[in-house]
Amino acid sequence: MRGDHSGDIYYELYTDIDNGYFRVISTSEMECTDISTFSPLTIQLDDDRGIDDYVTPLEPVDPDAETVRRLWRMDVTPWELAEKGMYPFTDIWTNYVPTEDDIFRFIENASARKNPMAVSLWTIFCAEFFLSAGFAEMVNSNFPLAVFLETVSRDSLYFDSSTDEWSYLENLKTSYLEYRRDPLADMRDDDPHLLDMMTLFEVKVSRTGINPDAAAEYEARLERMLGSRDPQLWRYYAYAYYGGNEIVSCNWKKSETALLMLYSLSKDPRFKREICFEAANSLGYIYYSNRLGRPDYKKAYRFFSFAAENGMIEATYKLFDMFRNGHGVKKDLRRAWKIISNLHSVIGEDEIKYPDVALRMGYCFRDGIGIEVDLESAREYFIRAKNSLEYRLNHAPQYGDNAVMMNVNRALASLDRNDKSSKGKSC
C-alpha cells in the first residue's frame, strides 16, 4: 500500500512474509513503471540487481498500546510507524478497543490531513479489528459506537476525494451524536448508518439473545423501509423476510413485494442493474419452489431467464431443471444438457462455490440427460458436489443448503443401489 511521498521517496508499505516487517522502497532507485502493483515475493525489476539493492530492511518493533491508540486517532500514520520498523498488525492492535474519543480524534485528524491514502490504510486496520474479539466486545457493550465505527470505516473505504470536501466525516459524527443513546429508537430513516445498524443488531441478537422490545422496534424499522426511496433498504427488507432471520419470521409474500420493486428498476439507468438481476433470480425461486402456496412456472421461467441472461449462475442451473422436468416449458433433455455443460465450463475453478452445478452434471451422466449414461462420471460429480457443499456449509452457508445436501446423498445412494442390483444379477 503506497503512502505519502517526501522528495523522491515513496513509502511502499508491504510485509515481508518470512520475516514479518515493513520495508521502505526508494523510488529514485527503482526503475519500474508501476510500483503499486508489486508484492514482496513477485517484484520484477528492469535490470540484474537484486531486491536488496532497492529495499532497506528495518528491524521489526511491535508498537505499545499507546502507539496503537495514536494510530487509531491518526495522531501518527502507518508509514511513519513503518519508518521505525513498527508492524501494526499484532495482537496489541486487534485487542485495543477504540473509544468514542479515539474515533472523534480520527475524524478531526483525517479532515485536517486531507489524505485519502492515510484514511484508506486506516480502514484496512479497521477490517482487522472487525474480525477480532475486541469488536465483538464493542458490539455487546457499546452497540451505538460499534455502528458508528463500522459506518465510518465503510464510508471512508469508498471515499472519493475528488468530489468530497471532507465534510462527510463530520456529518457522520453529527448523526452519531443524535442516535448514540439508542440507535433503534433514535436513528432517522434516512440516516446513512441505518443498514449498518440493522445488520449489526442481528449480530448482537445472535450473541446476546432477543430483547422483545428491541425486536419489535427492529421489525417496525424494517416495515418502514419500503417507503424509502433507497433500493438498498428495499433489498435489506426483501432478504430479511426471505427465509427470515433471528428476529423476524420468514414471509415470502413480503419478500416478493420488495423484490418486485427492485426488479422494476432494471430499465432505470440511475441504479446498478446487478441488484435487479439478483432480485429476478430470487423471484424465480419463490415462484418455482411453491413458496406462495403453489408453483408458478411461467413466472419462474420469465425471471430465471432474465437473471441467467445477465450472468446469474443460480438462475442458469434452475433453467436446466425446468427443461429437464418440463416445468413451464416443453421437456428438452438436449437443451438441458447444453445449459448445464456450458455453465460447468464457465465456472471452471469456481466449482467449489457451486456444488449445485456438479450435482446436476451428475444427474446427466446417471440418467442419460442429453448424453450417454456413465455411472462412474456420475459418481465423481456427486462426490465433488458433496465435498463442495460441505465446504460451503462450513464457511458460507446459504438458504436451502441442507435440502441440497439431502439431494446429493440421495443421488449417491441411488448409485449404491444400482451397484448392489447389478452384482445380484447373473449373466
Q: What are phi and psi of 5, to 5 degrees?
A: -120, 145
C-alpha 426/C-alpha 48 separation (Å) is 72
Using the predicted structure, report yes or no on whether residue 161 has a pLDDT greater than 80. no
Cα→Cα distances 116→31, 69, 125, Å:
26, 20, 15
Indicate the burial class of 46 (C-beta count within 10 angstroms; 0-12, 13-18, 19 or more). Answer: exposed
- Which of 133 and 364 is assigned the larger pLDDT? 364
Q: pLDDT band for position 274 (50/70/90)?
A: confident
> Which pLDDT does position 15 carry in this prediction?
41
Checking 32-35 for CB contacts under 8 A at 24+ apart, the result is: 35/2, 35/10
> Which pLDDT does position 154 carry in this prediction?
85
Residues 6+ apart with CB under 8 A from 387: 352, 355
Helix (H, G, I), strand (E, B) or coil at 316: helix
Question: Considering the entire predicted model, what is its pTM?
Answer: 0.76
Helix or strand holding residue 55 (H, E): strand 55-57
Using the predicted structure, report yes or no on whether residue 419 has a pLDDT greater than 90. no
Ramachandran quadrant class, 263 (left: phi over 0; alpha: psi -120 to 50; beta: rest): alpha
- Which of 120 and 182 is assigned the larger pLDDT? 182
Q: What is the mean pLDDT of residues 278-295?
A: 94
Nearest 10 degrees: CA dihedral of 72, 78, 81, 85?
Answer: 130
> Which pLDDT does position 247 carry in this prediction?
95
Indicate the burial class of 162 (C-beta count within 10 angstroms; 0-12, 13-18, 19 or more). Answer: exposed
Residue carrying C-alpha cell 498500546: 65
Q: How many CB atoms lie within 10 A of CB 289?
A: 14
Cα→Cα distances 259→97, 170, 328, Å:
39, 34, 21
> Which pLDDT does position 12 carry in this prediction?
40
Residue carrying C-alpha cell 425446468: 322
C-alpha 132/C-alpha 135 separation (Å) is 6
Q: pLDDT band for position 122 (50/70/90)?
A: confident
Q: What is the mean pLDDT of residues 348-353?
A: 72
Q: What is the mean pLDDT of residues 64-86?
A: 80
Closest to 137 in 3D by CA, of 208, 214, 215, 217: 208
Q: pLDDT band for position 217 (50/70/90)?
A: very high
> Which pLDDT does position 119 carry in this prediction?
85
pLDDT tens per residue across span 90-120:
566 677 889 999 999 999 998 888 888 788 8
Q: pLDDT band for position 49 (50/70/90)?
A: very low
Please say whether the beta carbons of 375 and 415 come within 8 A.
yes
C-alpha 13/C-alpha 21 separation (Å) is 10
Q: pLDDT band for position 61 (50/70/90)?
A: low
pLDDT, mean over the chain: 81
